[in-house]
Amino acid sequence: MNTLLFKNADNDALSQCGELLRQGELVCFPTETVYGLGANALNAEAVSKIFKTKNRPADNPLIAHISDFDMIHQVALSIPDDMKELTDRFWPGPLTIVLPRKKDLPDIVSAGLDTVAVRCPDHPIATALIRAAGVPIVAPSANLSGRPSPTCLAHCQEDLTGKIAAIIDGGECSIGVESTVLLPLGDRKVKILRPGGITVDMLQDIGFDVEVDPAVLNPVKEGQKVSSPGMLHRHYAPKAPLTIVRGEFEQVCDTILKTMDEETWVLAFEEYLDRFPRAVSFGSKSDPLSQSQALFRALREFDRLPCNKIYAMEPAEDGMGLAVRNRLLRAASFQIIDAEDLK
Ligand code: AMP
Ligand code: MG
């Protein structure tokens, strides 16, 4: 298939892409989190192309993206008052809420669940595209399943050129990891199923009671029931095995330096980059947003390097750090080791 590339999201590009979406084709577009692979949420056949193209497991439901709050009624049955408070506060933005779904929404969107995840993205191209299509758009990250999510045009082209109808360039994504996914528990209580740009602190600051699902930071055991099917799947993995090295940063650097060989690379905070002969930047140690912007790009970079082992420095858990740590743990298949045990 010939994939159209739109370097500018002008009116002509948006109306062509809106039309392609209405016709049931797939269009890749930028959001503030990562690039999304979009399809008309109301067209089961179009949605099935997403699963085929990404090779996405059929039990992993999609997020419906809307351009205005009122569009929510095309996918969800209702929204509780406390969740309306959150959408008023954080939409448009990196917040996805799991709601009861409309019965006529195609089953494939929710992978057969009776809920649907909904988000209103904060990106002018995403919003304009959804408006041009005139329908809610399901949009998982625009990578092949298992690979790191794309945060710029080149990543989308790597995975999707020749497989979809069009790609719209929107430069670098400002957040760099996917949205926060929330399960409402009633009475201003929520459970975080996936951490992202709307953090625990931001929710607590406005009086919400926040629980973080244990699967955010721990591997799911075989047979364990999960709140979100996405937690079960292998994610973001570079080709070489990645291990997180825990400990005081000076000691981490010393022990990695002692043990690394010619084909070992390090995912290192900027402040320590020049300590290593082979390292890729993981943003600044004290700025988790810079880490979330750097992470997926770095993971893709390792696949281009002559690399058979990766060590990563350990991000903190607070603020945006929780989202960074969640993605890095998955990329590492939860391999984490104390610096003193590194041999
Ligand atoms: P992605 O489309 O790759 O950003 O992933 C969407 C995430 O949202 C996955 O982790 C899904 O498991 C989760 N998700 C989507 N819909 C639901 C739902 N109805 N209930 C719980 N989690 C959901
Ligand atoms: Mg994804």
Lookup: tokens for 5: 């590339």
Mean pLDDT, rounded, for 41-50:
98
Percent of the chain exceeding pLDDT 90 equals 94
Lookup: tokens for 195: 């951490």
Mean pLDDT, rounded, for 316-336:
96
- Pairing relationship of beta strands 137-138 and 36-40 according to DSSP bridges: antiparallel
Count of Cβ atoms closer than 10 Å to residue 250 Cβ: 11
- One DSSP character per residue, 257-321 reads HHH--TTEEEEE-GGGGGGSSSEEE---TT-HHHHHHHHHHHHHHHHHSS-SEEEEEPPPSSTTH
* Closest protein CA for atom 3 of ligand 1: 140
**Is the shortest distance between the CB of 100 and ligand 1 below 6 Å?**
no
Mean pLDDT, rounded, for 171-181:
98
pTM: 0.96
194-226 confidence digits (pLDDT tens): 999 999 999 999 999 999 999 999 998 877 888
**Is pLDDT at 184 greater than 80 in this prediction?**
yes
Percent of the chain exceeding pLDDT 70 equals 100
Q: What confidence tier does 343 reach under pLDDT thresholds 50, 70, 90?
A: confident
Tell which atom from ligand 1 comes closest to the C-alpha of 149.
Answer: 3
The confidence score (pLDDT) of residue 119 equals: 98
Q: What confidence tier does 240 reach under pLDDT thresholds 50, 70, 90?
A: very high
**Is pLDDT at 80 greater than 90 in this prediction?**
yes
The confidence score (pLDDT) of residue 221 equals: 83
How much is the mean pLDDT over the chain?
96
**Is pLDDT at 165 greater than 80 in this prediction?**
yes
Task: Give distance in angstroms: CA of 228 to centre of ligand 2.
Answer: 13
Mean pLDDT, rounded, for 23-42:
98
The confidence score (pLDDT) of residue 169 equals: 98
**Domains, the chain, ordered by start:** 4-216 (3.90.870.10), 242-341 (3.40.50.11030)
Task: Give distance in angstroms: CA of 252 to centre of ligand 1.
Answer: 35
Q: What confidence tier does 231 reach under pLDDT thresholds 50, 70, 90?
A: confident
**Is the shortest distance between the CB of 34 and ligand 1 below 6 Å?**
no
Count of Cβ atoms closer than 10 Å to residue 223 Cβ: 5
The DSSP bridge partners found for residue 119 are 65, 96
Count of Cβ atoms closer than 10 Å to residue 263 Cβ: 13
Q: What confidence tier does 235 reach under pLDDT thresholds 50, 70, 90?
A: confident
**Is the shortest distance between the CB of 266 and ligand 1 below 6 Å?**
no
Tell which atom from ligand 1 comes closest to the C-alpha of 194.
Answer: 10
Q: Is 251:225 a contact under the CB 8 Å cutoff?
A: no
CA distances from 255 to 85, 86, 248, 285 (A): 49, 45, 11, 18
The number of helices, as runs of H, and strands, as runs of E, in the chain is 9, 16
Amino acid letter for position 228: S
Task: Give distance in angstroms: CA of 254 to centre of ligand 1.
Answer: 40
Task: Give distance in angstroms: CA of 142 to centre of ligand 1.
Answer: 14
The DSSP bridge partners found for residue 96 are 119, 181
In the chain, where do the E strands start and end?
A: 4-6, 27-29, 36-40, 63-65, 95-100, 115-119, 137-138, 166-168, 180-186, 189-194, 209-212, 242-246, 264-268, 279-281, 309-313, 336-338
127-142 confidence digits (pLDDT tens): 999 999 999 999 999 9
Question: CA-to-CA distance for 137 and 125, rounded, in angstroms?
Answer: 13
Mean pLDDT, rounded, for 109-127:
97
Query: Omega before 92 cis (within 30°)?
Result: yes
* Closest protein CA for atom 20 of ligand 1: 228
Q: Is 139:65 a contact under the CB 8 Å cutoff?
A: yes
Task: Give distance in angstroms: CA of 149 to centre of ligand 2.
Answer: 6
**Is pLDDT at 76 greater than 80 in this prediction?**
yes
Ligand that lies nearest to the alpha carbon of residue 147, given by its number in the listed order:
2
